[in-house]
Amino acid sequence: MKENTAGSNISIGVFDSGIGGLTVVKKLREKLPYVNIVYLGDTARVPYGTKSEETIIRFATEDTAFLIEKEVDLIVVACNTASSVALTHLRKAFKDYPIFGVVEPGVKMAIHATQSNSIGVIGTIATIKSHSHKKFLEREGITNIFEKACPLFVPLAEEGLSEGEIPELVARHYLEDIKDHIDTLILGCTHYPILIKTIKKVVGEKVKLIDPSSALAAKVSDFLMSKNIQPVEGNGKLDLYLTDIPPHYHSLLNLFLGFEPDTIEKVNLSEISSC
């Protein structure tokens, strides 16, 4: 990346297994309105969280290769599953590109927030199985950690079922046995902030909910400042690429993003050569 570059010339590539990573895009746009963002949602193969480690690494590699084809300057892995399982591989395979994951920023935010050093982590099956958040927390001296896979939260969010009897029953099923043992809970999936009101209702006001998207956006902003990237007035472009266009994608964009992208295009990742 060239230093002393105008912010409007910077392009950030963001990928997720589906639409959920647009919650990260929203925070990036708030923090860095002047940069261009290229977003890839692998909606044809969502969710990643139930896939094998080998498959997740392959999908994440293809996603990254696609974004590099779009000439982005850096990569943001919005997907917690890919950040947990594939980040080390991606940094080796694409060593010329700065690649940011969503796990570490969220962990640091949780450590700053906790008063009792008792932290919960919820995520997909693959994210929880990787123990990526737990490993970071233990390195920082946190040992009272409660992990819980919540796979049904993703389809609930994708269907727009964020509040009401069904999501509340699901949330109670997952969280009832850990909510009294923690004071901080990491939302370890980009879909989960959509369910934040329901999750808060179940765990109670005493538990602080951590959305890593804000911390990740701040980390990317600090990196650009360290490269002397100069902010400019105005908003950059947002180009949205999806591997499948869901019938209700307009309502999903409103739910996860809150504004219209400049372009929306369906793409086939098999046409991109992978590493």
Region 46-63 average pLDDT: 94
Rg of the chain in Å (alpha carbons): 18
Last residue of a domain, one of 187, 212, 237: 212
pLDDT for residue 274: 43
> What token pair was written down for 236?
């950059």
Catalytic residue among 38, 189, 203, 238: 189
pLDDT for residue 5: 59
Region 201-227 average pLDDT: 95
What does the pLDDT look like over 131-143, one tens digit per residue? 999 999 999 999 9
User: Given a cut of 60, is residue 165 above it in pLDDT?
Assistant: yes
- Residue 251 pLDDT class (50, 70, 90 cuts): confident
Region 220-228 average pLDDT: 93
69 with 112, same domain: the answer is no
Query: Among 75-84, 99-108, 124-133, 228-237, whose mean pLDDT is lowest?
Result: 228-237
Q: Are 50 and 128 in contact (CB under 8 A)?
A: no
d(CA 146, CA 162): 23
CATH number at residue 13: 3.40.50.1860
- Residue 144 pLDDT class (50, 70, 90 cuts): very high
128 with 206, same domain: the answer is yes
145 with 191, same domain: the answer is yes
Catalytic residue among 25, 28, 57, 79: 79
The percent of residues above 70 in pLDDT, for the chain, comes to 95
User: Given a cut of 70, is residue 6 above it in pLDDT?
Assistant: no
Is 275 considered catalytic here? no
130 with 196, same domain: the answer is yes
Region 229-255 average pLDDT: 88
52 with 81, same domain: the answer is yes
User: Given a cut of 70, is residue 2 above it in pLDDT?
Assistant: no
> Is residue 1, in this structure, part of any structural domain at all?
no
What does the pLDDT look like over 184-193, one tens digit per residue? 999 999 999 9
Number of domains in the chain: 2
Q: What's this model's pTM, rounded to 2 decimal places?
A: 0.89
3 state DSSP class of 114: coil
Query: Among 2-6, 76-80, 85-89, 96-100, whose mean pLDDT is lowest?
Result: 2-6
Cα dihedral across residues 260, 60, 65, 108: positive or negative: positive
Is 79 considered catalytic here? yes
Q: Are 14 and 40 in contact (CB under 8 A)?
A: yes
pLDDT for residue 28: 96
Sheet containing 184-188: order of strands: 144-149, 118-123, 184-188, 208-210
131 with 207, same domain: the answer is yes
**Per-residue CA distances from 15 to 77, 101, 112, 175 (Å):** 6, 10, 27, 28
Q: Range of 150's domain?
A: 103-212
